[in-house]
Structure 1
Amino acid sequence: MPALTVPPVDRWVPAPVTQENIDWANLTVVDLAKAKTPEGRDEQVRLARDATHRQGFFYVVNHGLDQETVDRMMDIAVLPFDKVDKEEKLRYEARIKQTGEYLGYKLPQYWHIANGVRDRIEHYNFPRDVSRREHPAVLRPFLPEIQKMIEFTHRDIMNEVQKLLSLGLELPENTLPDIHTYDETNHSFWRFMLYNPRPKEEEELTDNVWMKGHADHTSMTALWSQPVTALQIKDWDGQWRYVRHIDNALVINCGDTTEYISGGYYKSAVHRVIKPPQDQDGYRRLGLFYFMYTGDHVRLQPLLESPVLQREGITKVLEGEAPTQETWRKNRASTYGVAELKKSAETGIEYEIVNGVQVKHYN
């Protein structure tokens, strides 16, 4: 990323890495630097393909951003939570249910977790083009940096990942990047997200779950690895396992949109957030996220021209006319965490119906 003249900001001090004995998920590491040579590219295509097919989660390293840049973005990330008063936050509160978009604040206590306990999660969301809306005063000096981070993440990291996954489907490498264009049709968004610790009685009522198990409705989600150990994946064998922290790595997870356009070959990853281990008790979990969508006009239907899908068959498809990305993203966002869920015959699972699809929530 090109150098910018930047305003000063206080440093965010991250939690120390846990020293506890943890059941870690065995996730693949995709190295974008190695993908720059023909031999290395073949290997990274295979790694990205197999990881997304099997688990829907993998790390990306050597993506082009140095640790200093990521650390500074973390310094900025805490500002909308610690340096904005409640009155100003309310002025920028997202109208999620009404609009189907998260832009602005999602304030704590919006989502129901279990047994009457609501979340203690706060996030602030930026559109892909930050100039689309006004932001709290404390963030305005940092908007050029945030915009550069968004553009670099989309064009230089996520589109490189999408090229690998296109080749994994034995399609031209630009197949997926071409439907994830960085233009006005694309409503991908950037998020600063803060998980606040909870009192003991809420932990007991929710069995320590901070966010229920779910699959993202996006195409892909990128989150910068950070040391508070709380993210778990529902692994290939059905067990919940922790995602290990790797300095300056991105954790990429496949969302429902990619699962549908790959006909189920690429798996949408089920994940949740739970109370951190004892030696991280009381720490706040601050994160950087990029939620990537296709263009709004793209229909969520399988890429039938893929030789892989022709050989393997279609295992996941939406009934009837496939919705567009715009319809899917708005309907999923507007109902998440606030819809009345029904009990599934499967133990520990509730569900809602969105666009005729049974969307599962894992307790």
Structure 2
Amino acid sequence: MQNIPSVDLGDFLSNDPIRKEKFVKEIGRAFEEIGFVALRGHFLNQQLVEELYNEIKAFFNLPLETKKKYEFPENGGQRGYVSFGKEHAKGRKEGDLKEFWHFGQYVSPESKYAVEYPENILVEELPRFNTIGKETYQMLEKTGIYVLRALALHLGLDEFYFDKYAYEGNSILRPIHYPPITSEPQNAIRAAAHGDINLITLLMGAQGKGLQVQNHDGAWIDAIAADDELVINVGDMLSRHTNNKLKSTIHQVVNPPRELWGTSRYSIPFFMHPVSDMPLNCLENCIDENNPKLYEDITAGEFLHERLVDLGLIKK
């Protein structure tokens, strides 16, 4: 396999049961075999995408002292700015060659999760930054809900099984800036090999080389999407919940060739998390004599805390 499979969400959204079933089979097979797909037919329009890129480029171009105003380590990097080199992959000491921003969930004051989620941080210098970020967040969340519905059908569950866990989930929209590389990196790359923590990740900005996926043979393959596609992958929470039926694939963002060191790279993943009290216990219909239960019972909130410690974003 030289690249990742491509699927069309329009098939699932159609009123044609044959097209809907085709989408369920295609995405289910891809997530069992490689853990990644390229998805077109999502809810982001081109104008919103262009506006978001304009806003995040404007933010990352602000002076460092201005960006630092929006960095709050005490919230574990869950909202606002995280400066260059702060995050590292699990098991590594070298910080990744990136800086990023976090938009989080938007809930009403009456929600039971309102006290659990930090407030989103407003950038005073860029009045459209927060508006465009919120709109993008909500369109990606909407896309993710439909992907999870398709996966529920693939797993033999009720189509709306994940809805109660994904709505008001602890999802994160992360615009990332990989700055130009100015000197030979010391054992560091833009994003070291890792698996994602969450249920699924929806990634904007995989149109150029850089993102690589490790296949079952251990070989790295380029994951490149078309201009109108998102790259979607399985996270560790969903892999754990399905007893590894759906694969959370190791991936990385490699440094560009030396002639492109002087260029920035931007990508915007949406990490779709469930609510913290979702049980990640292995689904009964994913356990049998050939596939014994692999994981202890745990909630999404407990699992997230463990992983944020591993990433160096919060202390034990």
**TM-score category (smaller protein):** 0.7 to 0.9
Closer/same/farther in 2, CA of residues 27 and 100 from structure 1, 3 Å limit: same
**Any unmatched runs of 5+ in structure 1?**
1-23, 340-353, 355-363
Closer/same/farther in 2, CA of residues 135 and 335 from structure 1, 3 Å limit: farther
- Partner SS state of residue 127, structure 2: helix
Is the Cα–Cα contact under 8 Å of residues 192 and 286 in structure 1 kept in the other structure? yes
TM superposition shift of 1:116:
7.6
Give the alignment partner of residue 152 of structure 2, picking from 157, 166, 188: 166
1:218-240 residue CA offsets vs partner (Å, 9 max, x unmatched):
11111113433111001122101
Closer/same/farther in 2, CA of residues 200 and 228 from structure 1, 3 Å limit: farther
| 1:109 matches 2:85 | yes
| 1:49 matches 2:49 | no
Give the alignment partner of residue 212 of structure 2, picking from 232, 239, 259: 232
Give the alignment partner of residue 11 of structure 2, picking from 26, 29, 34: 34
- Partner SS state of residue 59, structure 1: strand
What corresponds to 2:161 in structure 1?
175
**TM-score if structure 2 supplies the norm length?**
0.86
Give the alignment partner of residue 47 of structure 2, picking from 58, 68, 86: 68
Q: How far apart are the structure 1 equivalents of 2:36 and 2:299?
A: 24
Q: How far apart are the structure 1 equivalents of 2:237 and 2:214?
A: 19
TM superposition shift of 1:311:
5.8
Give the alignment partner of residue 192 of structure 1, picking from 150, 164, 175: 175
What corresponds to 1:147 in structure 2?
134
**TM-score if structure 1 supplies the norm length?**
0.76
Deviates more, 1:258-267 or 1:63-72: 63-72
Please tell me the residue identity of whatever aligns with 2:97: R
Is the Cα–Cα contact under 8 Å of residues 190 and 290 in structure 1 kept in the other structure? yes
Please tell me the residue identity of whatever aligns with 1:327: E
TM superposition shift of 1:262:
0.8
Is the Cα–Cα contact under 8 Å of residues 70 and 248 in structure 1 kept in the other structure? no
Q: How far apart are the structure 2 equivalents of 1:136 and 1:312?
A: 54
What corresponds to 2:279 in structure 1?
299
Is the Cα–Cα contact under 8 Å of residues 202 and 231 in structure 2 kept in the other structure? yes
| 1:334 matches 2:314 | no
Please tell me the residue identity of whatever aligns with 2:182: P
1:151-209 residue CA offsets vs partner (Å, 9 max, x unmatched):
12112x1011001111111111111223212x2xx21111110011323421xx32x73
| 1:282 matches 2:265 | no
Is the Cα–Cα contact under 8 Å of residues 217 and 256 in structure 1 kept in the other structure? yes
**Any unmatched runs of 5+ in structure 2?**
108-117
TM superposition shift of 1:269:
1.3
Q: How far apart are the structure 1 equivalents of 2:259 and 2:163?
A: 41
| 1:77 matches 2:82 | no
What corresponds to 1:7 in structure 2?
none
Closer/same/farther in 2, CA of residues 315 and 240 from structure 1, 3 Å limit: farther
Query: What is the aligned-residue RMSD (CA, Å)?
Result: 2.7
Q: How far apart are the structure 2 equivalents of 1:123 and 1:316?
A: 37
TM superposition shift of 1:31:
0.4
Q: How far apart are the structure 2 equivalents of 1:71 and 1:312?
A: 50
| 1:126 matches 2:110 | no
Percent sequence identity is 24
Q: How far apart are the structure 1 equivalents of 2:98 and 2:149?
A: 33
1:264-306 residue CA offsets vs partner (Å, 9 max, x unmatched):
10111100111124664422111122111111101211221x3
Please tell me the residue identity of whatever aligns with 1:77: I
TM superposition shift of 1:140:
3.4
What corresponds to 1:255 in structure 2?
235
Q: Which of the pair is proportionally richer in strand?
A: 1
- Partner SS state of residue 241, structure 1: strand
